[in-house]
Structure 1
């Protein structure tokens, strides 16, 4: 018998997916009519929009002097891999991972590039690896915020200054939501589809002067695909960082990104977005503290993500089930709330432990997070009644 009655107030927006994420409040397709549609991306008007996207990114993020920005193919994945393929191999490399996407960079380093001197530091889901093992002379590859584990980096003191190495950071679900010390990073990557609620397929690449030095001084021992090439004649291809993209971008998506930056500025910049995510996380933390059937995958609040928040089922009846049965239980909760148009796509990532993953990046209204919680309690009790 359930103790929670079926709620009658639904979230105004049921989109709690971790990517692509909810569109920003007030979005409508009608607002994109100013996009340079049907134009060559090499045309004056289209290239001006691409350059505007690059320059405004520098301004909104307040990047250090001399950092370059480019729009590149294949989302955040493409941005990370083009730097791994182009920059690694001349020095030792340390790769840190604790969830699915970080493990992708482990695979690239170990099995694809087959780097000779490569140390891998892998943490379990919900736990960070030991960053203190980072070698001061080694290149570094790591993810700032683990989208599929709900764990983020909270301390960067382990990144020691060394102009002879590069530090590559996948920041896609952290940027615009968490404090990132850009000056300590040589490569920062993200996609529009995370905290900004943008569209997929485009990656943002930020390079420090040190990263440019590596590109111009290092020739990889392996072939570099065309979409990964950032140099021409041994020098940085500056055009890529001025709006001449490597491949054809969607000008509709570019327009959406420009308007997302308008929205960021209307909230006071990245700090305003971070405040929204922090507020939503606090709502979830207060709920979890008084709810006995669920618990955070990340037990340490200091490193808990404020964007992709991951939970496991704490109820002993569910924990006693095998993994397949636990996954089936979670799917029933997700399906039930999707059928009620309350919440979409909030199950845990396929490689993560069975549970829920609720996106609370800034495009999600904190008030919608509050409205979701009674539904979660009701859905759990409804599904658990059959155990």
Structure 2
């Protein structure tokens, strides 16, 4: 039986990416050694790092004056590193979910944090709008896609201060104007690679402005100066990221990834809205995520939630259980999800409707 991986992360990767990574872990570039055991200082791995940075810049059209870094610790460490490096007096945050809230918590250790808006009272079922960004803030932080609640910012914001974005779960899913951002960061295990590496795109001129001393490993300048090679980087996840970036390029680039994301979302949201057994969880349809499509059983069918999950899982729909704070179901449709997977889920929902509605 064909299985489709709708897991929120670590998540689906293209088959050719996994195959190339697995082969490199057995033997890398005819060296007679595994990628897992060679020195990161070898010319062979330096070429991998160089290619990763070059492909990032090419696919996202990153302008001059920005550095691309590959570090450890996940986005959760970036919640600390961003204010450590950039918060001198106060920073502004848009509270759109659990991860934004966690980022705010870390920032409060370094200075004043202004919550410009929040949708917490509505369980984060929409993206706040019509708020003011303090012009004297050191930066404004957003989370562009909220995996738990299924909301997403679909356009690049205009900000009077440096814009910092956690793009862990929607990077490379649409073209972005990097020049509008001071920093973009994220864990790689959604749209880019296996778990274990964090990407950072940072505008160089924003670094070195705070008055505090920063530990060496937590100072972005360390990683800029050493090309992400200050210490041993996560070599296998970086190699895996290169394979994914090459795959994106071969498929038509980020614009094609956006087209596919819209096609998948239109199909699945269309079924959610049509099928009387299900309903979407995001109250503002314009804020619906293309990456994490969340839905629940309609009120009159609530008692069938566990049964549908069992039914869908047996049909090969893997990882569709919703986050505990929302319940219901979550179909994560990252770049590597083929349209056939979404069609299979829609067919599953329609079959279940015929059985019970």
TM-score scaled to structure 1, two decimals? 0.81
Aligned residue number for residue 224 of structure 2 = 238
Aligned residue number for residue 235 of structure 2 = 251
Shift of 1:217: 2.1
Aligned residue number for residue 31 of structure 2 = none
* Contact 1:72/1:204, CA 8 A, preserved across alignment: yes
1:184 aligns with 2:159: no
Cα distance change of structure 1 residues 259 and 114 upon mapping to structure 2, 3 Å threshold: closer
Pairs aligned (count):
344
* Contact 1:16/1:359, CA 8 A, preserved across alignment: yes
CA distance in 2, matches of 1:39, 1:97: 43
Aligned residue number for residue 362 of structure 1 = 335
1:38 aligns with 2:34: no
SS of 1:372's equivalent in the other structure is helix
CA distance in 2, matches of 1:175, 1:40: 29
Shift of 1:206: 0.2
Cα distance change of structure 1 residues 192 and 160 upon mapping to structure 2, 3 Å threshold: closer
Alignment of 1:40-189 (within 5 A): 40-88=39-87, 90-110=88-108, 113=109, 115-116=111-112, 118-123=114-119, 124=122, 125-138=124-137, 139-157=139-157, 159-161=158-160, 165-189=161-185
Question: Relative CO higher for 1 or 2, CA cutoff 8 Å, sep ≥ 6?
Answer: 1
Question: RMSD between aligned alpha carbons?
Answer: 2.5
Moved over 4 A (4+): 223-226, 377-382
CA distance in 2, matches of 1:185, 1:31: 31
CA distance in 2, matches of 1:86, 1:361: 31
Aligned residue number for residue 311 of structure 1 = 295
Shift of 1:342: 1.0
* Contact 2:125/2:282, CA 8 A, preserved across alignment: yes
* Contact 2:277/2:301, CA 8 A, preserved across alignment: no
Cα distance change of structure 1 residues 63 and 39 upon mapping to structure 2, 3 Å threshold: same
CA distance in 2, matches of 1:265, 1:293: 39
TM-score scaled to structure 2, two decimals? 0.87
CA distance in 2, matches of 1:62, 1:179: 9
Shift of 1:13: 3.6
* Contact 2:309/2:320, CA 8 A, preserved across alignment: yes
For structure 2, list consecutive stretches of 5 or more residues without a partner in the other structure: 29-34
SS of 1:132's equivalent in the other structure is coil
1:347 aligns with 2:345: no
Query: Which residue of 199, 202, 205 maps to 1:204?
Result: 199
CA distance in 1, matches of 2:43, 2:155: 44
